[in-house]
Structure 1
Amino acid sequence: MGRNRAIIIGASIGGSLSAMAVSPFFDEVLLIERERLVENGEPRKGVPQGRQAHALLGIGRDLISEFIPDFSEQLRQAGCSEVDQCLQLPNFTSSGWRARTASSITSFGFRRPLLEMVIRSNLNRFANCKIINATVKSLVADDEGKAILGVSLSDGSVIAGDLVIDASGRGSQSPRWLEQLGYPVPDEQHVSCFMGYASQLVHLPKDVLEPGTAGLVAMPYPGHHRGGLIIPIDNGMHMITAAGMMRDYPPLEQEGLLDYLDGASTPLLGKVARASEPLSNIAGYRMESSRLRRWHLLDRRPSGFIATGDAVASFNPFYGQGMTISAKGAAVLRNCLATSEDDVSLPERFQSAFAHFVELAFSVSGMADSLYDGAELKNVAPPEPDQFAYLGTLSEMAAEDPEVSVALVAAHFNMEAQGLFTDRMRAKVSTWSQATHARVVDTNNIPAPV
């Protein structure tokens, strides 16, 4: 295998970042996108979740910044909102309001198409990267079927490449294509909690939100299947999202949506939504399950092909992991290419290294979703109750202890739980567990910062 041309199927976030990752190692990088891309910030058909609320975790922003050093500044220049996650976005959970306090954990708000546009615009910095509009129909292998040599397009033409990267998303056809070549398909794990979302762009009049806040979060949790959020996105707009679990889907008409939000764990969500001014129609999105394709466990695979991003794992959007996983895949691929010139072993090395991160993310979101009564698990062992005891205690503590509140947000945004298991944190949990706590939850009033 040489390093003349890399072919990337899909030019969304995962595909664009993968192109930046492989650009230094190949003479040419060709992204094949079936949709005609119009960079006007409007949602596109190939990204059905594009009209829903999105979150880019802190580690995801850092990973993208490895390819786009001024990424955060570009988001600001595009009008994206930046807020203190622990202070400005009050969060009502199964344990009540999280303690609010100033922190260094900031997040950007944006519409998904705007983020894609910002990222793709940076491909111009990589002179050997090119996007073409076409549809891939199959993989092309050598006569022995041991190596992928390119892709076949819907018009019958063939494009040769030394490495084919599937970044086509959840609807990836790669398992079928490889099966046609005589290869096994990857095992799949599913955690089904039958989630549904309904979102709308809105304008919030002045003084609708509590002073010092920029939005409101009250997502569903086991035992309470209805919830949602109101968050700042970009250029002065907010987005309202209603979220339902276990087939308790939010309606797609105005009054029904508002009534649904009234049923969230805090009535403030519906109250703020009713004071908003709609700027768009309501867009719905449903997703049956989180899914992990275990590409790394294949006992036989061709050289010259890898899968990344949602083609490997797609998650309940509630946890905001998807775009970060795509960014991590790009970083892992870059490192695999940089540390070894053994390209025959690249697919196995990449899928194994990527799996370490993906499986951790899947276990976190899947474990939480498995707690819903009626959730369906496929090839996933149900978690033991004591696995949740420690984290459940931390969640209760976070309603009163700002240090714990920040630690939980940091663990989520960094996809790294070590900060929750320090000696100091364990001591806090031990002390808390030995005391009796009178729990009083005021759903109608947001707590003041501490």
Structure 2
Amino acid sequence: MRRAAVLGGSIAGLLAARVLSDHADEVVVLERDDIAPAGDFGDGRDPRPGVPQGTQMHALLDAGRRGIEQWFPGFSAEIVAAGAAHADTGAGVHSYLDGRRKVLVGGVEMVSATRPFLEAHLRRRVLALDAVRLVNGRVRGLVFTGDRVTGVRYASGAGASGAAGTSGASGAARTSGTSGTSGTSGDDVLDVLDADLVVDATGRASRIGAWLGEAGWPEPALRRMHVDLGYATALFRRSGGPHEATLAQSLAMLPDGRLRLGTLGRVEGDRWVALVAGYADDRPGRGVAEFLRRCADDPAEPFRQLAADGEPMGEPVTYRHPDNRRRDFHLLKRFPAGLVAVGDTLASFNPIYGQGMSSATMHAACLADYLASGPSPRDPAWSYFKRTRAVVDDAWQTSALNDLKLPHVTGPRPRGFGVASRLSDLIVRASVTDPVIHRRFLDVMHMLSPARTLMRPGTLLRAARAVRRQDLPAAGAPLDTTV
């Protein structure tokens, strides 16, 4: 390819740019947030405005960590040296179910850091590539020529200049917003960036459906699952230590049937970040007192300890996730060549399960496989969407199966849901005490193995035996785990 354009400088967009740098003479990352005012591409201290959940806790699952490490060798060591926390499930990562710590099993690794920190380090590595450059601008629409997408229209950002600006974009042309461009007014003057391939990484609010529809193409169906999740994140300083758990996760069923979740981890700057979550009318508020009360009431010991020895660094920041979403591109009968989608544009899951960044990494791997197969530039990327469908289906199954157990979640239950739900509960309960089941469970939750591997007869038989040896509540309550 001569040029590829990536719409959005998110984790998904940056990883797509890394893949494209192996196949294109030039890769332009078009990002609406002015993240390079001084040419340093941001210092990782503040979240981008375009990432509303950027202030919330993030942990990189092992599938994502391994994928990034393949494209950027030494990345994990780099960010740990800069302050991120690294932990193995055999020691520093502790998972709790109703306050009972699961048996420790090693071999699965996690990285804990704030989202701005992770993104800034990844952005530096990507933009250090000779073929990649950043353009500050807001996407207004796609350019179609025949049955292909051949470019993108965008409004230049006021802060873009020099290497990160638009004035030096070879092949760019000026066009008026009165030419029928989607989402523009008559006063807009837009840039057109020609591209042989356009990658939409603009996220769950992407306008790709509208852009396709306005050009006469069918729009991908957008599926939604209402979950009404709310969570709050707070930063802490802690006295004493060392602390046994570098990362801790807790899932607990309250006596009234409500499900509560929490995640706690050490991050850069010798700080700790904690997240508490609940559904529907049990969503946490913004106050420090309520946040500490939730931690103190958690049956998992690390959260009670945080409430006792943690010093809050400001007010908690809340975020609401109303629904899970996926766009089913694979169901379309017609689609233009020269266009693909990655990250939350494809699917946005319940964030409690931490699948977002690792899914983006796997989408980038699908893009790498697709491009390595030597596709014709005249054909739609059907084989790419087939590859990503498998990734989306597996992650969707993991989160949706758990979400559908919640009484407030509406929507049709798939055929066999009752049996699948009970078997899922069996696996989770067995993972508390059985190291083999717990390791297989972790492999699925960290997106290292497909969810179906937990339904193998040998695994289910072992899980049933483990549960019989436990003194746990009767099966039937929707007890599952977060990452």
TM-score using structure 2 length = 0.84
Aligned to 1:244: 278
Aligned mates of 1:341, 1:388 — CA distance in 2: 40
1:120 to 119, 123, 137: 123
Cα shift readout 1:109-136 (whole Å, capped 9, x = no counterpart): 1000110011111124421111010111
TM-fit CA distance, 1:432:
4.2
Aligned to 1:35: 33
Cα shift readout 1:317-339 (whole Å, capped 9, x = no counterpart): 11110011111111111111111
Structure number with greater CO (CA < 8 Å, separation at least 6) is 1
Cα shift readout 1:216-275 (whole Å, capped 9, x = no counterpart): 322356933333222112232110111111242111111122223344344762452242
Q: The residue matched to 2:402 in structure 1 has which SS?
A: helix
Distance 1:390 1:225, change over 3 A: closer
**Letter matched to residue 68 of structure 1:** F
Aligned to 1:103: 106
Q: The residue matched to 2:417 in structure 1 has which SS?
A: coil
2:348 to 314, 329, 332: 314
Aligned mates of 1:331, 1:348 — CA distance in 2: 15
Aligned to 2:154: 153
Structure 1 consecutive aligned stretches of length 4 or more whose deviation exceeds 6 Å: none
Cα shift readout 1:182-205 (whole Å, capped 9, x = no counterpart): 112111222221011111111121
Aligned mates of 2:372, 2:247 — CA distance in 1: 42
Aligned mates of 2:301, 2:73 — CA distance in 1: 41
**Letter matched to residue 142 of structure 2:** L
What aligned pairs does 1:69-108 form with structure 2 within 5 A after superposition? 69-94=73-98, 97-108=100-111
Aligned to 1:7: 5
**Letter matched to residue 35 of structure 1:** D
TM-fit CA distance, 1:437:
4.5
TM-score using structure 1 length = 0.89
Select between 18-27 and 76-85 the one with higher mean Cα deviation. 76-85
Aligned to 2:202: 168
In angstroms, what is the RMSD of aligned CA positions? 2.3
Aligned to 2:138: 135
Select between 309-318 and 212-221 the one with higher mean Cα deviation. 212-221
Q: Does 2:377 correspond to 1:351?
A: no
Q: The residue matched to 2:102 in structure 1 has which SS?
A: coil
2:238 to 204, 210, 213: 204
Asked if the contact 1:319–1:365 (Cα under 8 Å) also holds between the matched residues in 2, the reply is: yes
Q: The residue matched to 2:223 in structure 1 has which SS?
A: strand
**Letter matched to residue 48 of structure 2:** R
Aligned to 1:398: 431
Q: Does 2:343 correspond to 1:304?
A: no
Cα shift readout 1:79-113 (whole Å, capped 9, x = no counterpart): 1111122433332225x524332512221110001
TM-fit CA distance, 1:292:
1.0
Aligned mates of 1:290, 1:221 — CA distance in 2: 22
Aligned mates of 2:47, 2:2 — CA distance in 1: 34
Aligned to 1:279: 313
Distance 1:397 1:33, change over 3 A: same
% identical equivalent positions: 26
Aligned to 1:17: 15
Aligned to 1:446: none
Cα shift readout 1:381-440 (whole Å, capped 9, x = no counterpart): 36521112222222222222233223222221124346535665344234346x474338
Asked if the contact 1:220–1:245 (Cα under 8 Å) also holds between the matched residues in 2, the reply is: no
Aligned mates of 2:260, 2:13 — CA distance in 1: 34
**Letter matched to residue 408 of structure 1:** F
Aligned to 1:295: 329
Distance 1:53 1:382, change over 3 A: farther
TM-fit CA distance, 1:69:
1.6
Aligned mates of 1:226, 1:5 — CA distance in 2: 47
Aligned mates of 1:241, 1:120 — CA distance in 2: 25
Aligned mates of 2:405, 2:103 — CA distance in 1: 26
Aligned mates of 1:376, 1:114 — CA distance in 2: 36
Asked if the contact 2:353–2:399 (Cα under 8 Å) also holds between the matched residues in 1, the reply is: yes
Aligned to 1:219: 251
**5+ long unaligned stretches in structure 1:** 442-450
Instruction: Give the total of aligned pairs.
Output: 432
**Letter matched to residue 219 of structure 1:** L
Q: The residue matched to 1:344 in structure 2 has which SS?
A: coil
Select between 306-315 and 121-130 the one with higher mean Cα deviation. 121-130
Aligned mates of 1:125, 1:19 — CA distance in 2: 12
Q: Does 2:335 correspond to 1:334?
A: no
Asked if the contact 1:262–1:270 (Cα under 8 Å) also holds between the matched residues in 2, the reply is: yes
Aligned to 2:398: 364
Aligned mates of 1:44, 1:354 — CA distance in 2: 27
**Letter matched to residue 199 of structure 2:** I
2:212 to 178, 183, 188: 178
Aligned mates of 2:12, 2:252 — CA distance in 1: 28
Aligned to 2:471: 438
Asked if the contact 1:251–1:260 (Cα under 8 Å) also holds between the matched residues in 2, the reply is: no
Aligned to 2:420: 387
What aligned pairs does 1:409-420 form with structure 2 within 5 A after superposition? 409-413=442-446, 414-417=448-451, 420=454
**Letter matched to residue 67 of structure 1:** W
Asked if the contact 1:246–1:372 (Cα under 8 Å) also holds between the matched residues in 2, the reply is: no
Q: The residue matched to 1:156 in structure 2 has which SS?
A: strand
